[in-house]
Chains A and B, each alone.
Chain A
């Protein structure tokens, strides 16, 4: 069964902290994505990776970076967390042929 897991369901961090969000997929997929979901704004793409050590900016990359050292793991990094980064963060990995996205359960991050 297809599976995308995220390291935390809920996270509370202080302004200025460095935050790591981890995502692991067990489908041997090439591509992995990070979105944030905010009420009324839908899902917005932050970064994606199409291969190990390869990354590409999405629509809202400012304030974020990513790391993909292994095929199954894709990390989202908030270098210096700010309150406007309080959000639900979703990791996803698509099937190559149909591009159906398989989503993780999400990490609800609160920055205080």
Chain B
């Protein structure tokens, strides 16, 4: 069964610091990869996704992620965080579950707190 591992449970950064959140997955086949964000009191929304092509993916609000197939990783980065980036971030992997069906598996999430 596929699984997703997010390395950090809680990350605390000062404004303008650089961010990298780790995500590793276990699945040998073709995958689609996602990062979702949940701001306090709001519902989950898509930050960025990798479907195919260029492994460096740019998303909203200055976030990017790099798919490294050999390392089964899809780390999220931002060069300079803002207080408004305080949120919980979830990595997710979509892979084939059975004949014709897919399952999106989420990591346990990383809480990011940005201190002004």
Contact = CB atoms under 8 A, between A and B. Distances in A.
Interface string A36-58: 00001111110010100000101
Interface in B1-55: 6, 9, 32, 34, 36, 43-46, 49, 51
Interface residues of A, number: 22
A40 B108 contact: yes
Interface residues of B, number: 23
Nearest to B108: A42
Contact of B45 (A45, A90, A103): A103
Tell me the interface secondary structure of chain B in the complex. Answer: strand
B104 to A, nearest CB: 6
Contact of A104 (B9, B36, B43, B51): B43
A40 B44 contact: no
Contacts of A90: 43-44
A98 B103 contact: no
A101 B44 CA distance: 9
Interface of A: 33, 35, 40-45, 48, 50, 56, 58, 90, 94, 98-101, 103-106
Interface of B: 6, 9, 32, 34, 36, 43-46, 49, 51, 90, 92, 94, 101-109
